[in-house]
Structures are given as C-alpha cells and as structure tokens.
A and B are shown apart, each in its own frame.
Chain A
Amino acid sequence: MIWHIVTRELFDHLTSLRFALTTLILVALMVTNAIVHLQTHPERVRKYSEKVNASQIELKSRTQLYALLQKGPGKLYKRPSPLTFIADGGDALLPDESVGGGFWRLYGLTYIWSMGVPRLNIGAISHLRPTATAIDWVFIITYLLSFIPLLFTFDALSGERERGTLRLCLANSISRSVLLVGKFLGSLITVLIAFYFAVLFNLTIISADSSTQLSGADWGRMGFIVLIASCYAGIFIAVGLIISAVTRESRLSLVVLLLIWVTVVVFMPSTLGTLSTKWMPPVQTHHQFQETTAAATDQIHSNFLNKRQALIERRQSAETLQEEAAKIDTSELEIQQELVSKDMEIRERLSRQYLAAQSAQVLRARQITRCSPAAMVQYALESMAGTGFNRHLQFLEHCHLHIRQFRDFIVEMDRADPESLHFIGISKGMSKKPVSPEAIPVFEDQLTFQDTLNPALVDMLLLILLLGVSLSGAFLVFLRSEI
C-alpha cells in the first residue's frame, strides 16, 4: 500500500512544473560550479607545486646543519584540495603557508627560525569587488535543498485537506502513518532525483577533465557528502510536513515555512556567529600580541646581556689561566645557546597561544551556529572536502609535527658527528659536516580519509538526529490533527 502512495506522489511531483524548474536551476548551478572549478583549479595546483618546488630547492641547497636550523624548514604550503568545488570554506581568506618569526642580530648571534602566526590573506575580503558567496555544493545544498523541499511539501497535507482529498484517502484502509511515510518518501525521492541528476552532470564534467584526478578516497568522500545532502533535504521535507499538518490553509503554511527557511538558513549561520562572539572573552589584537612577544624576548635578551657582561668581567680577571679561559669559552657558548633556544621557544609558545585563543573563538562561534542545520551541513561538507577552518587547523598541526621532526633530525645529525661541540643553535657549536639533501625530511600535507571523516562525524550525527526528531514530530502532529 505504501508503495502505491509513494508512486502516486512521485508521479504527481515528477510531472509538475516545480520539478521541471527545480531540475533546471540545480543543473544550471551545478554545471556552472563544474566549469568554474575546471577553470580555476589547475592554476591553483600549478601555483602550489611551483611554490613547493621552489621551497624544496632552496631547502636542499643548504648543506650546513646550522643553516638548516637557522633558516628553518622553508615555507610549508597547504595542499589545495581536489574537492574545493564542493566546499569553498573561505579558503581564500585562510592562510595557506607557514610563516617564520624572529629576525634579530646581537653580537654576532642571530635568531633561529620559529613558526610564527600565519597571516590571513586579508586581500580576499578587502578588495573592491562586490561580495558574493561562491557557488559551491555547500551553497547549492544549504540554500536550494532546503528551499525546494518546502515547495514540494507546503501543500502536501494542508492542500489535500482544503480540497477534501485527504479525508477521502484516509477513508480507505490506510493508516495515517503510512500516508505520511508515503508523502515523505514521495517528496524526498523527487527532490533527490533532481539533485542527483544535477550532481551527475557536475561530476561528469569534472571527471572528464584530465587535470583533476579524483582518488578512490575522494569518491568515498563524495558518497558521504551526497548522503549528508539527502539527510538535509529529508529534514526540510519533514519540517514542511509538520507545518503543513498544523495549518489550515496551504497559503499560511507556505508563508510560515518560508519565514522559517529565511531565519534558519539565510540568517542564523551568520547572525549567530557574530552574535555569539559578543559574549566571548576578547582576544589580543595583533598589536598587543606583538608587544607581549617583544616584552618576553626583550627579557631573554637582557638576561643574556647581563650574563655576558659577567663573563667578560670573569675573563678580564682570569686572563692568564688557560683552563679558566676554556671554561669561560664553554659557558659563553652555553649562554648563547640558551638565548637562541629560549628566544625560539618563547616565540613559538606565544604564537601558539595566540592562535589557540583565536581558534577557540571561531570554534565556539561555530558551535553556536550549529543551531541551524545549514551550518551543520556547511561544516560537515567542509571537513569532508578538506577545506575550511578545520582543515586549516589540521594544516597547522601538520606543520608543527614536521617542524618537530625537522629539529629532531638536526639534533640527531649533530649528535652523530663526534667533532661537533653539540651546541644546537650556535654556528660555532654545531657540526660542520655537509648534510645530504636526500636526508632532509620532506613536508607531507596529506589528509587521510579518517582526517576528513572524524570532524564531520559530529555534524552528520546531529543531522541524522534532527531528521529523526523532525520526522517523529511530523508523525505526532499528523496523528493528532483533525482532518
């Protein structure tokens, strides 16, 4: 019986004007998305590999251990995701390279490279062109796969009630829940047919191009993304059924639904995001951060100068003794090493703290915007596609891991050399043996399937939960409503 209802609903929908318009608009947007991706993505990949190569060549040209440590691992770049067309994620604004910090010279000593605060590409927002949202899958799904389900369901129950067909239908031996499930599936399948059709168009165009190579994992990710989208459409169909069951008129039902849609999909993700930061503890301004760093490093530097002064005095008083002089030389190297390494550590620690405070704010704001299913879909899709804020944090984490590995490598190479004095960070105190370029660790910014799936899981579970809640809501409301 249920399939009878589903097929009837399907037939009704598929031959309707709204289905034709839906398909048209979805296909048009998906095709645009694919074409623009094909135009812009190869350039992005080319730039990335050029930059990576340049940085690698520069790195390999350094053969001295000290030079390697002092100049650092070179610039580390974020690998562009092949799935950018799915979620843009504000990647233009987010930093895509690591930044070094430091820059000082003191009595022949110099800083060693430390990872600084990556710079946001502020040009991505402060340009003269009018703002617009990228037409990625996130846009298409969050806006259209919520709007279209409402158009298919606003009169599903209220319209039939107005015409009296609902009463007729229920006069047969059909339970209300069966009717509801039939309506739900009928609308969902219709919307998804249009959506899958558009997705097929999109993927055909994208995979027909030779420059984008999608791996097996990418297709797996895409499978999850399509599932998320279907779940999202299901939520709005259930909401449409709820409102349609409670209202007498289908006109009123439509207005209520559209207003819910505007609030939840258009306004909530941005308004709540900015609103929530009002009650958060403020983060340091960049200026304040620079001042704290400067104060901390100045402290270290003045400590060093004091110690150095003391050493000079010791040397002057004990100029004649050979043994004493050698001891003083060692302790000079010691205080030099202390200066350089402490300076590097404090810089890195403060930058990490600053970044952590900033990210905590963003993450909390995202937590609050999760009131809107549109935001959930956005975050889930960004994580799956390997773009957006989560990806940014992962990239920074990869950078940190690599830097640790890089420094360990240097310490080990230095330890292997018996001639070295083992004062890491001081030119005189380190091994002079040339390093073979092949041995230098290479930065790998690879995302595994788990890396993308794990952050998305919360949002996916939330979406499924929401679908369950709204569906059972629809049942409750429909079972209790008068026909």
Chain B
Amino acid sequence: MMFLTLIRQELLIHLMSARFFAAVIITLLLVVANTFVLIGAHEERLADYSQRDAVNQEGIATTPTYSVLKLKVQRPPNPLSLFSAGLETRFGNDINIAFDSVPALSNPIVDVRAAEEQWAFGSVPSLSSPGAPLGLNNLYLHLFSQIDLVFIFQVVLSLLSLLFAYDAIAGDWETGTLRLVLSHPVGRGKVLLAKYLAAMVCLLLPVLMSLLFALIQCSFARSLQFGTDDFLRIGGIVLTTIVYLSVFYLIGLLISTTTRRAATSLMLCMFVYVVLVLVYPNWSRFALNPVGDMRGEKRSADQQITQIREAADRERDRFLARSPLKGDPPVFRETEGISNLFSGAGYFLLGDFPRVNLELKNAVDPLAIHFRRYYAFAAPLQIQNAEKVGFVGQQLVEQTSVRQARWDERLMKLSPASLYTFATAAWAGTDLDGMTDYIQTAQAYRRTLINTFHDRDAFASLQWFAPNQQSPIDWSILPSFRFERADVGINAQRALPAVLLLLGTNLVLFMATFLIFMKIEV
C-alpha cells in the first residue's frame, strides 16, 4: 500500500515538474523536425534507387554480347534507417556482378598488375565492392552529419534520466524528506524501487510520444511502408531504449546515493554524461587503433593473388600454344580481322582485351571457331580464378576492414551510449551484419548468373564475344535480384549481446545502489 503511494507521489512530482515538461517538448520538437528531414532523405534515396535501376536496366538491354555484360545490383533503401542509420546511409549501394569478379564488403587489393600489364590476359579477376551510397546527388553534403531518431533518444533522454536521478536520494536527504519517508513502515529497497519505477514510467512517456509522432509523420509519406516485421523491430528498438535509459537513471541514482549534496551529485552526473555520451565514443574511435598496421596481411594476399594469376596465365599460354591464335595476347592484335577493333566499331576496354567485341563478317569466319574454342576454355578459367582471388580477398577483408570495424565496435561498447547505438542498428538491420547479408546475397546472385550462362552454353557461343545484329541476346533470361533483409529473429539474435550487456549493467548498478542505500545513514 505504502509502496503504491510512494510510486504515485514520485510520479506526480516528475510529471508536474517544469523540467519534465520542457524535456518532452524539446524531444518532440527534435523528433518531428528530424523525422521530416529523414523522410525527405529516404525519399531521395528511393528516387535515386529507382533512377539507378532504370539506368542499369537500360544498360543491360543494350549490351551486345555476354562477356561485356555490366550488371549492377542494388540494395533497396531500408525504411528503418529512419530510426537507426547505422551503415545504411553511408555504405555503398550498388555492386557490380560479373563472371570474373566476386562481390566483397570492400576491396583492399591494390591492383599492381592492372597498370603495368594492361594487355595481359583478360580482365583482371578481382573483387567488386559496393559503389557510391544512395541519395545526396551532391556528395559534398556529406560534410553535414546525418542524425537518426535513436541519436535523439541517446543524447536528450539520457540527459533527462540523469536529471531525474541526480537529486532522487541526495536531494531528499538534504531536505530531510528521506528521513520522513523512511520513518514509515516501508523497506529501503521498496523506496528505491518506487523511485526507479516512477522515473522509468516518466521516461517511457516521451519515447512513446515521439514514436507516435514519428509514425504519424511516416504514415503521411507514402514512400515509407512498414510491415509487421518492421513493427516488431521497432518494438525491439523501444525495448532497447528503455533498457538504455534505465542504465543512465541508475548511474544517476548511484551517484545520488553516494554523495550527500545534490549540487555535487549534479556535477558528477553531468560530467559522466559528457564522457559517456559525447566524449568516449568519439575518443575511442579517434585515439585507439587496436588493429594497427595491416600492410603485412595485404602484402601476403597480394602475393597469393599474383601466384593465382600467374598460374592462370601459364594455363592459358599452354592452350594458346595449341591454337592458331598466336602466343601472347598482344599478338592478338596481329591476328587477321582484329584490326577493325580499333576503328571504333566495337567495345574497346583497356585491360579487357579478350572481352572486346569482334565485328565478325559472318559466323563462318575462319577465326570464329578458334575464338569460340578459346573462350569456351578461358571464361570458365576466369571464373575459377575470380573465385580463388575472391576467396583470398575476402579473407583479407575479414582480417583487415572487418576486424578493425569489430574492434572499434568492441572498444566503443565500453560506453552504454554506443552499446545502445549498435544494438538498435542490429534491430534495424543497418549494422555490419546487415551489410554482410547483402554481400552474401550478391554473391549468391552471381553464382545463379553463372549457372544461367552455363545453361545456355554462353561461353562457347559466338555471342559471348561477337554481337549478332539479327538476333540480339534475350536478356530476360537474367535471374532477377532480390535482397531481403534478415528475419526479425536474426535481428534479435544480433541485438541480444548488446542488450544483455545493457541489462547486466542495469543489474550491477541497481545492486550497487541498493547495497549503498541500505548502509547510508539517514
């Protein structure tokens, strides 16, 4: 009974206070203004997405041969980036799919050969990594940082929770109300719990209100459509927000119980806030470089790739020795019938020699059969090669970029504010794992593409390298690309470690506060 009275009293004190009112107003204003900006940005990304898609489709439709097919696939913009932008808005979007390059998260391989031996065997098998991010025609506008809704909660509401907490005990102690309260038949634990519960209810209010406002704004924008799964993900984000705010409230409560004066407690709270929310996440990423020098790994990967390429070159030379197409690829130039390549009629890609279109006079051209044999041999070799290079390259990416990103994450996670950022990004699917999913989908798509080529026996066909004006390639055979974001369950699994850490912090802080509060003199 007494417990409920306490909760009610605390609730009233908070809800009636001017600080609560001011904070709610500001949060709502910020949320509304930023949602407006974010919806605009999302629409821009959608427009860019469909424009790029149209360009890609057009490019495919006019492609004359199989080998020069420049296929790009795209990740549709994620509507949940409104809540947590994560990597979504700045990580590259479209990725080249080709038979001789494997999609990867990033491309750390410096191509030494490309510059020196531009005429060497075929296009150099390599990695393809995502190109420019969607949206923002004017890349200079990236100078202005983007803010997501989670950031507002992270900065403003954590401040509010500290402001609720700093005088919860110290203030009552100073004014003497603590003594009065404890003179009633109520345990100290219950007093603490009542304060905690009341504050959490009050903190939940601005979160839910701003969520409501944001969703109302979203419903006006036709471009944003949330499915059931998305609402579950948003639910996950709200839960994480509560756990996060609770951490800050408990930090405030702990400081409040350990200090005797509200003024001291306030100063400590403010500095803890500045350090945890503003300074540490930036500081750790700026000052610490835990992975250090990665040139060694790069060098060894470069060596491995060179070996793969040399082996492939030898194999090709062996084939060419038995073929009337003469020796080294540059000699292709002297081969009869190739000279019209340079008259500007066909494709002419530097370092891409065997992919060049030939203007064959007729299909029974004496050279045609040899070229067909050559490509029937060379294209699968290039695919095999690309996969080998892709394997080495992906390992290198794992060892360098991904490892570095993971370490940055781990170090940043020492601050609950960053834990919160990463947990919500995991819920929204905009984290590193979400991007890895995308790359994996692209890799799977490339394999389907190659299978389609195999099915049509494209490598051995004339249309692999020579266009046929009479019957252009029917590109509708291309499999369509669809990137589905991971399941809610998987999102939850990825968010779980960070959420558990936040919960653990809560528990430790609560226990510590409880123990100290039991012992202090009133």
* Chain A contact residues, CB within 8 Å of chain B: 16-18, 21, 25, 29, 32, 35-36, 90, 93-94, 120, 122, 125-135, 139, 143-144, 147, 151, 155, 249, 251-252, 254-256, 258-259, 262-263, 266-267, 269-271, 273-275, 277-278, 282-287, 358-359, 361-362, 365, 369, 389
Q: Is the CB of A274 within 8 A of B146?
A: yes
Given contacts A251-B167, A270-B147, A283-B137, 17 further A-B contacts (CB under 8 A): A125-B142, A127-B405, A128-B105, A128-B402, A129-B401, A132-B282, A135-B286, A135-B287, A151-B267, A259-B22, A262-B26, A262-B156, A262-B159, A274-B144, A278-B37, A361-B140, A362-B140
**Residues in B whose Cβ lies below 8 Å from that of A29:** 279, 283
With both chains docked as a complex, state the minimum distance between the C-beta of B176 and any C-beta of chain A, in angstroms: 16
**Residues in B whose Cβ lies below 8 Å from that of A122:** 92, 132-133, 139
**Residues in B whose Cβ lies below 8 Å from that of A135:** 279, 282-283, 286-287
Q: Is the CB of A127 within 8 A of B401?
A: yes
Q: Is the CB of B281 within 8 A of A93?
A: no
B4 at the interface (CB under 8 A from A): no
B15 at the interface (CB under 8 A from A): no
Q: Is the CB of A255 within 8 A of B143?
A: no
Instruction: State whether A130 and B287 are in contact (beta carbons under 8 Å apart), knowing that A144-B274, A278-B37, A361-B141 are contacts in the complex.
Output: no
Q: Is the CB of A25 within 8 A of B275?
A: yes
CB-defined A-B contacts under 8 Å, sample of 27: A18-B271, A25-B274, A32-B286, A90-B142, A93-B139, A94-B140, A125-B142, A126-B90, A126-B132, A130-B412, A130-B418, A135-B286, A139-B282, A151-B267, A251-B19, A255-B18, A262-B155, A270-B144, A271-B30, A274-B37, A277-B141, A278-B37, A358-B139, A361-B138, A361-B141, A365-B144, A369-B144
Q: Is the CB of A21 within 8 A of B408?
A: no
Q: Is the CB of A270 within 8 A of B146?
A: yes
Q: Is the CB of A126 within 8 A of B130?
A: yes
Closest A residue to B350 by beta carbon equals A103
**Residues in B whose Cβ lies below 8 Å from that of A21:** 267-268, 271
Q: Is the interface of A mostly helix, strand, loop or mixed?
A: helix
Contact with A along B133-169 (1 / 0, CB 8 A): 1000111111111110000100110010001000100
B172 at the interface (CB under 8 A from A): no
CA distance A135 to B283 in the complex (A): 6
CA distance A335 to B473 in the complex (A): 41
Per a CB cutoff under 8 Å, which of A127, A133, A254, A362 touches B266?
A254
CA distance A389 to B267 in the complex (A): 37
**Residues in B whose Cβ lies below 8 Å from that of A93:** 139, 142-143
Q: Is the CB of A362 within 8 A of B146?
A: no
B78 at the interface (CB under 8 A from A): no
Per a CB cutoff under 8 Å, which of B22, B92, B140, B163 touches A126?
B92
Closest A residue to B436 by beta carbon equals A128
**Residues in B whose Cβ lies below 8 Å from that of A25:** 271, 274-275, 279
Q: Is the CB of A120 within 8 A of B139?
A: yes
3 tightest A-B CB contacts, nearest first:
A273-B144, A132-B285, A255-B19
**Residues in A whose Cβ lies below 8 Å from that of B279:** 25, 29, 135
Chain B interface extent, by class: 35 or more
Q: Is the CB of A132 within 8 A of B132?
A: no
With both chains docked as a complex, state the minimum distance between the C-beta of A82 and any C-beta of chain B, in angstroms: 19
B420-442 residues at the A interface, CB under 8 angstroms: 421-422, 432, 435
Instruction: State whether A255 and B144 are in contact (beta carbons under 8 Å apart), knowing that A21-B271, A132-B286 are contacts in the complex.
Output: no
B18-57 residues at the A interface, CB under 8 angstroms: 18-19, 22-23, 26, 29-30, 33-34, 36-37, 40-41, 48, 51, 55
B391 at the interface (CB under 8 A from A): no
B304 at the interface (CB under 8 A from A): no
**Residues in A whose Cβ lies below 8 Å from that of B105:** 128
Q: Is the CB of A36 within 8 A of B286?
A: yes
Contact with A along B97-141 (1 / 0, CB 8 A): 000000001100000000000000000000000101100011111
Q: Is the CB of B143 within 8 A of A362?
A: yes
Closest A residue to B406 by beta carbon equals A128
**Residues in A whose Cβ lies below 8 Å from that of B51:** 285
B328 at the interface (CB under 8 A from A): no
Closest B residue to A106 by beta carbon equals B344
CA distance A35 to B287 in the complex (A): 8
B515 at the interface (CB under 8 A from A): no
**Residues in B whose Cβ lies below 8 Å from that of A36:** 286-287
B211 at the interface (CB under 8 A from A): no
B75-110 residues at the A interface, CB under 8 angstroms: 87, 90-92, 105-106
B443 at the interface (CB under 8 A from A): no
CA distance A397 to B130 in the complex (A): 32
Closest B residue to A144 by beta carbon equals B274
Q: Is the CB of B147 within 8 A of A267?
A: yes
CA distance A376 to B33 in the complex (A): 22
**Residues in B whose Cβ lies below 8 Å from that of A284:** 137
B409 at the interface (CB under 8 A from A): yes
Q: Is the CB of A259 within 8 A of B147?
A: no
Q: Is the CB of A132 within 8 A of B266?
A: no
B349 at the interface (CB under 8 A from A): no
**Residues in A whose Cβ lies below 8 Å from that of B152:** 267
**Residues in B whose Cβ lies below 8 Å from that of A266:** 155
Q: Is the CB of A129 within 8 A of B285?
A: yes
B264 at the interface (CB under 8 A from A): yes
CA distance A126 to B432 in the complex (A): 12
CA distance A13 to B68 in the complex (A): 73
Q: Is the CB of B37 within 8 A of A282?
A: no
**Residues in B whose Cβ lies below 8 Å from that of A263:** 26, 29-30
B180 at the interface (CB under 8 A from A): no
CA distance A167 to B267 in the complex (A): 26
**Residues in A whose Cβ lies below 8 Å from that of B130:** 126
**Residues in A whose Cβ lies below 8 Å from that of B167:** 251
* Residue of A18, A133, A274, A285 with most partner-chain B CB within 10 A: A274
Closest B residue to A251 by beta carbon equals B19
B178 at the interface (CB under 8 A from A): no
Closest B residue to A289 by beta carbon equals B137
**Residues in A whose Cβ lies below 8 Å from that of B286:** 32, 36, 132-135
* Residue of B18, B271, B421 with most partner-chain A CB within 10 A: B271
Closest B residue to A143 by beta carbon equals B278
CA distance A183 to B133 in the complex (A): 51
* Residue of B23, B163, B267, B432 with most partner-chain A CB within 10 A: B267
**Residues in A whose Cβ lies below 8 Å from that of B384:** none
B404 at the interface (CB under 8 A from A): yes
With both chains docked as a complex, state the minimum distance between the C-beta of B196 and any C-beta of chain A, in angstroms: 20
CA distance A127 to B92 in the complex (A): 8
Q: Is the CB of B140 within 8 A of A389?
A: yes
CA distance A471 to B313 in the complex (A): 76
Closest A residue to B267 by beta carbon equals A18
Per a CB cutoff under 8 Å, which of B145, B274, B283, B401 touches A147?
B274
Q: Is the CB of B55 within 8 A of A287?
A: yes
Closest A residue to B38 by beta carbon equals A274
Q: Is the CB of B41 within 8 A of A274?
A: yes
B383 at the interface (CB under 8 A from A): no
Q: Is the CB of B140 within 8 A of A359?
A: yes
With both chains docked as a complex, state the minimum distance between the C-beta of A86 and any C-beta of chain B, in angstroms: 15
